[in-house]
Chains A and B, each alone.
Chain A
Amino acid sequence: MTVLARLDAVTRRFGEVLAVDDVTLDIHSGSILGLLGPNGAGKSTVLTMLQGLRRPSSGTVSLFGGSPGDYRTRQKLGCTPQETALPPTLRVGEVIDFVGRHFEHPLTTAAVADEFGLGEVLKRQTGALSGGQKRRLSVALAFVGQPRLVLLDEPTTGLDVDARRTLWDAVRRQHDRGATVVVTSHYLEEIEALAERVVVMAHGRVIADDTVSAVINQVSLRQVRLVTEHPDRVSGLPGVVARETGDDGATTFYATDSDRLIEELVRSGIPFAGLTVRGATLEEAFLTLTGATDAAASSTQIAQKEMHR
């Protein structure tokens, strides 16, 4: 496995905002790497630095051993435009052909169209495409140049389930043909469907870097919220990893298995009221887990996060 791209102690500021905070990351050939995290976690900033669109405030970003800012380095890189950005008066075939001509060994326009289900609309202007077709064209453009590394930023956000699966299938086929893919998403489902390795980002930092199954086990937390006089006793029940006390007197407990927790709660006879259960968001789950060894610390983290909102 060779390293295709590397971020070494990379920090990127936008004025006062710290978008990426001391991130070190290797992207190895042959895998699909999922970059998971809530909006504003710094995923897109990492991608734009790999694309050469932005420079890090400190640290180094290298692509194929060179600088992403040099256009020759990007010969083996594939990126997607936002689907709203496609030039509306150009035909689908013209756009694919135009992009292909930047690369030494492009796929034929017909092959690209076939692979991404665009054969029917090659002659159509991109402004006349449906949302799903535009998205497929945008993703297809990343593969036209037969790149070694492909960066996909939120490739299926806003698509319906069928369109999403079609696109995932196409991406997986391209990966099987040898492309290394980095895909950002804030959907765990998308990462689960595509990726082998997951890097989770929150607040500009990498907070987990593991296999998909390991991360899924970590993040499938549930929130159990209730009012009780004895929060410490509830915390002692099996499966509780963290807790957070709200202003209204209710306490939120984060548990790996909420059903089991409630069974145990009822059996223990601890008095409680106002029980609600819901899934924790990825961000909540991760912020909780990073401080799971110390429930109090994790509560502070969550409180701080709430204050930032």
Chain B
Amino acid sequence: MSTTSLVKGARASRSTVALKLLMAVSGLVFIGYVLLHMYGNLKAFAGHDAFNEYAEHIREIGEPILPHEGALWIIRVVLLLALVVHVYTGLALWGRAKKARTTPYAVKKSTGANFASRMMRWGGVTLLLFIIWHLLNFTVGKVNVSGGATNDPFNLMVDSFSVWWLTLIYLAAMLALGAHLHHGVWSAAQTLGLTGTAGARLRWKRIAFVTALIISVGFSLVPIAVLAGVISK
């Protein structure tokens, strides 16, 4: 695609950097959401009633100004928009990268790259598949792999995580999420132009690592606790 022509009338909003900015901002929306989600999950340690009350309360936020489930639907719409933006920009940049090098190297080392940064695209696809399953499991279809009832959030959760292979899928997904955030948070900071000095760069690498650790470990606690029998019906 190398050309000898010069671009006229360039628009910043049409650039790859604009795609990256959209990706960074939509990613930050997800981080805000998963932190709230994780807080909700940890309510499982407070027992059956506290967890179910919390689940019910999410539907009542903002009432009576908002209708029943109003706030919940606002969150869902924002998340769906962020997902569309994140996936679209991810695929667009992936496609550009493919076109930018059509002849691969016979020998290529990854000097200077960490594992998480090289897993972003396939890791992202893994997370997307996981999110679809996760919504089928707990929100849209409500699949109880143990065959029990699905109308009680706490019991559905305990039934689900009592199945070892399902817990394993969730733990693997949290590993993928941790890796995605480890590079993603740092990358978002860089894209937003917050890492202009060596000090800021180091600071954001640490923030990214800690964010990834808190979220992946925080989410893993509940499934592990269920499987270990700490949380039970």
> Does B bind A?
no
B interface residues (Cβ-Cβ under 8 A, vs A): none
